[in-house]
Chains A and B, each alone.
Chain A
Amino acid sequence: MRWLIRLLASLRSAPGTEEERENAGTPARGSDMETLKKSFQNIHDAEILELENERLGKITLLYIRSLIDINQLQEFVIAPLQKAAGTDLRDTVQAAHLSALEGLDQAETAAFKGAVILHAGGRLWGISLSSSLSRAVEPSKQEAVIHGPQDSFTEQVENNLTLIRRRLAVSALKSERFQLGGLSHTTVILLYIENLTNPEFVRIAREKTVSVKSDAFFDSSHLSQFLEDHIHSVFPQFQQTDRPDAAAAALASGKVVWLVENTPFALIAPITFFDLFQSPEDYIHRWPVSSFLRGLRFFAFLFAMVLTPFYVAITMHHYQMVPLDLLFVVLESRSEIPFNPFWEAMFMMLVLEILKEASLRMPSKSGQTLGIVGGIVIGQAGVEANIASNLLIIHVAVTAIASFLIPNYLMTNSSKLIQFGLLGLAAWLGLWGIIIGLIMVLIHLNGLTSLKQPYFAPLTPFYGIDWKDTILRLPLRWMTRRPAWLKTLDPNRVKSGNSHPEPKG
């Protein structure tokens, strides 16, 4: 009778049916474990532990000491196994992350992801006990806001998922897990909201993610470069954010989000050119203030690209455009300069870029010194040595400040490259050259796509209804519909939800 009682007890306590238990994992041969042990040779922190359990028989544990939490291993795995608490491994080890493994490859990958591999009862099992090496959730440094949520993503992909799930507590938020990179086995999680996000986006995102072929991914930017539609474009086609609220807002509007392991940045697509000028703070300010600030950013982007080339065009080709009083100032400023305006501007812009790049690589305290040396000393000395005119220094400085207004770092760098192109065209053909350069940029933006969707929407193609939240940011209560260009399954934002107060007690 004892065997019958034991059987009934195991049926009662174990999750899933008997059939599921039978199917849990492919039976492992003894030689499989030997192969696994061999592949862990010469890894100094790989440990193999063999335990003898009264009911389960011989159990082999294999793990990488530096990747797992030793205390948890002792408390939740070794101690229960020594006590021989249950008749089944699932009854004995009460770990939440116990899962059956399908084969040696999976076991090996799991071990290097921080799991303890168990060989018991002729099967391979994995228990995820990865040590939490993550830093704490801190305020975002890249997209800092004065008001609003102060948490940001970390390198732990599961923690990042938690931060998003806390904001979108619905079962419709679906997450699909992929492992990319033959060496890095980087976990990538694709997130979208079912019955809201256009299924076509999800299909394209899934297909693109599956088709990524590379041996190692260490950053979300690496992945984005494999997912982009136009690999030669200077414009970023994915938005990268380290703010969970921005990622959650993107999901809620019908976009797709990728979380990448070991990266504190989520990828968002499809995006438009205009999305890259938005800041989470736009939704905190009063709408007239937000609209003004957004307008200022667009103006600054154009200004940063065009101002120095414009100076070169005017001084090389179109003196007649400058009113006489102003012309005297220009001429006096340039009278002692031995170079033509193109080389003068090129030199100063290169110096500025060198300074910017150097200040990024240097420690923050040295960076301040560099700013003083670069900005004041070189600028002043340059003017006094007649290498650059006062007027050009002002142009270059204003350009540099204007470029910092663009919230997206990748977009800031894109504008730099365009600026140099326009500078060459300005020197060659004056304003005609600048304008044809800008037209080419517009043609390029008009033809770009992000996740196969038009990048320059809602301008081309034109979606009038989406202009409520593009350059202007109109009152939030007017934004009752999701962006039309996203072609969501549910275009309405406003639902007759339960906005009544919760009952007491």
Chain B
Amino acid sequence: MRAEKHGAEGGLWPASLGWLFVNRLQVALYILCLPHVLLYPYMVWAILIVGAASHFHLRLLAKWLQTEEARLGHEGFVRLLGEKATRVLAVPGAIVILLESSIVTLDYLEITHHVLFPSVSKLTLLPLMWLASCFLAGYGMPAAGRFVVMAFLGSIWIVGLFLQFFFPPVANYRYLLPLFPQELHPGTPYNLLMLWAALSGPQYLAFVGHRFAPGSGMYRWLALGNALSVAEYILFFLAVTLSFGSEYMRKLDYPVVQLVRYIQLPFFERLETIVLPVHMVLYIFLNGFFILFVRDALRVAAGAARKPQRWHWLAAAAVLWVAFVYVMGRFFWATETQHLFWIHVHMWLAGAMYALVPSFLVLAAAWRKRRSTNR
């Protein structure tokens, strides 16, 4: 079993758990807000279509992960792009990661502030999230990678809470109509872009390919993760649509969170008070991962990638991360308009990165291979 061969030490995590990475990276960002954007029941087909596109796109990622360059890590990128280009590209790479990470974190803090702590500033919760993320990053990439299992187990059970909304009397199946529209609403391209951005995330695996154990079966694991994400998005979207219908959903801020409020247990109600904090495990996993990416990007940019690992790179990345989030949250996320602006930025950025990174790397690897064969 691959998991047993590569699962423990030596900075490796099992390739067969690659599906967990794909799945958790894909659902962390948009699972709470996507139904509100998609709105119309026929958008379920859009989830399937974009999911299929992502499915095929992952083939490119799997292809890249099988290349010699991916396996070599930093040295592979140097071989592919050259020393100078690698160092130069590390800077925008770090900025993109910081931007994405900040938007994702602030969006989560915004929801938490809105639902759980309306009287507390959203930035009050930031230090604890930062501490937890740094704590995870402090154990290094192998341990942060292993944490994906905890992120998965800690959050997957939430899906089970929504199953009850598929059955009458809560579920109203008339809300599913029209399942095939007469004409598409004007916001459809925007929705498709958002869906594509929602399924982004696996592109980050391209930079840690050397920590995987890539084999010929890598694609099937990535595809499994993608299929699970698509199933989750459909399940959440259908549960919300069946319960609220498009018209009422339009008026709700976070319909997924609102729906959780309807769950009643003998001892507890208002389960969003538990679900929303539990969802944080994904953000901490993601941010710990991102801080390590920023650390490596800083080292590459400074030309210190081949030198022994020092703690001050991690400290610099952690401080940079929290400064970025704080400044954005404090000065550029004050109004709802700014909030929407940043969501748009994230959507374009994540969508573009997901489309471009694997394609670019595969093309570059193929070009290099061709050039070396011609010689």
Please indicate whether A and B come from the same complex rather than being unrelated chains.
yes
From known contacts A326-B267, A431-B277, infer whether A461 and B3 are also in contact, taking CB-CB under 8 Å.
yes
In the bound complex, CA of A48 to CA of B69 (Å): 76
Given contacts A323-B268, A463-B4, 12 further A-B contacts (CB under 8 A): A318-B270, A321-B268, A326-B267, A431-B274, A432-B117, A435-B274, A436-B284, A443-B288, A446-B143, A446-B150, A447-B138, A461-B146
B147 within 8 Å of A by Cβ?
Answer: yes
A465 within 8 Å of B by Cβ?
Answer: yes
Selected interface stretch from B8-16, B41-49, B81-89:
B8-16
What mask results when residues 95 to 110 of chain A are scored 1 for a CB within 8 Å of chain B, else 0? 0000000000000000
| B283 → A minimal CB distance (Å) | 10
B136 in contact with A453 (CB, 8 Å): no
Chain A, range 324-368, C-beta contacts under 8 Å to B:
326
Hey, which chain A residues are within 8 Å of B17, CB to CB?
A: 462
B149 in contact with A443 (CB, 8 Å): no
Hey, which chain A residues are within 8 Å of B128, CB to CB?
A: 429, 433, 436
What mask results when residues 104 to 120 of chain B are scored 1 for a CB within 8 Å of chain A, else 0? 00000000100011000
From known contacts A431-B273, A435-B277, A462-B17, infer whether A443 and B8 are also in contact, taking CB-CB under 8 Å.
no
**Contact sample, A vs B, 19 pairs, CB 8 Å cutoff:** A322-B268, A430-B273, A432-B277, A436-B129, A436-B277, A439-B154, A440-B131, A443-B136, A444-B135, A446-B150, A453-B8, A459-B149, A459-B153, A461-B7, A461-B149, A462-B3, A462-B17, A463-B3, A485-B8
Hey, which chain B residues are within 8 Å of A142, CB to CB?
A: none
Hey, which chain A residues are within 8 Å of B138, CB to CB?
A: 447
In the bound complex, CA of A249 to CA of B153 (Å): 31
In the bound complex, CA of A356 to CA of B252 (Å): 52
In the bound complex, CA of A459 to CA of B284 (Å): 18
In the bound complex, CA of A264 to CA of B143 (Å): 35
Residue tally, chain A, CB below 8 Å to B: 36
In the bound complex, CA of A321 to CA of B115 (Å): 13
Chain A residue at smallest Cβ distance from B112: A432
Hey, which chain B residues are within 8 Å of A464, CB to CB?
A: 1, 3
B7 in contact with A462 (CB, 8 Å): yes
B52 within 8 Å of A by Cβ?
Answer: no
A-B contact count (CB 8 A): 119
From known contacts A322-B268, A429-B125, A461-B14, infer whether A447 and B139 are also in contact, taking CB-CB under 8 Å.
yes
From known contacts A439-B280, A443-B135, A443-B139, infer whether A465 and B9 are also in contact, taking CB-CB under 8 Å.
no
Hey, which chain B residues are within 8 Å of A74, CB to CB?
A: none
**In the complex, which of the residues A323, A432, A435, A460 contacts B147, with contact meaning CB atoms closer than 8 Å?**
A460
Which residues of A does B touch, CB under 8 Å? Answer: 318, 320-323, 326, 429-436, 439-440, 442-444, 446-447, 452-454, 456-457, 459-465, 484-485, 487
| B322 → A minimal CB distance (Å) | 16
Hey, which chain A residues are within 8 Å of B135, CB to CB?
A: 440, 443-444
Hey, which chain A residues are within 8 Å of B267, CB to CB?
A: 322-323, 326
Main secondary structure of the interface of B (DSSP, over half): helix
From known contacts A320-B269, A447-B143, A454-B8, infer whether A435 and B3 are also in contact, taking CB-CB under 8 Å.
no
In the bound complex, CA of A432 to CA of B281 (Å): 11
Hey, which chain B residues are within 8 Å of A431, CB to CB?
A: 273-274, 277
Chain B residue at smallest Cβ distance from A428: B128
Hey, which chain B residues are within 8 Å of A442, CB to CB?
A: 147, 150, 154, 281
**In the complex, which of the residues A323, A446, A463 contacts B269, with contact meaning CB atoms closer than 8 Å?**
A323
Hey, which chain B residues are within 8 Å of A439, CB to CB?
A: 132, 154, 280-281, 284
| B9 → A minimal CB distance (Å) | 7
Residue tally, chain B, CB below 8 Å to A: 44
| B245 → A minimal CB distance (Å) | 26
What mask results when residues 277 to 318 of chain B are scored 1 for a CB within 8 Å of chain A, else 0? 110110010001000000000000000000000000000000
Hey, which chain B residues are within 8 Å of A321, CB to CB?
A: 268-271, 273
A323 in contact with B266 (CB, 8 Å): yes
Of A320, A323, A439, A460, most buried by chain B (CB within 10 Å of CB) is A439
In the bound complex, CA of A430 to CA of B154 (Å): 19
In the bound complex, CA of A404 to CA of B45 (Å): 54
Hey, which chain A residues are within 8 Å of B7, CB to CB?
A: 457, 461-463, 485
A461 in contact with B8 (CB, 8 Å): yes
Hey, which chain A residues are within 8 Å of B131, CB to CB?
A: 440
In the bound complex, CA of A323 to CA of B270 (Å): 9
| A200 → B minimal CB distance (Å) | 9
**In the complex, which of the residues B13, B132, B153, B268 contacts A436, with contact meaning CB atoms closer than 8 Å?**
B132
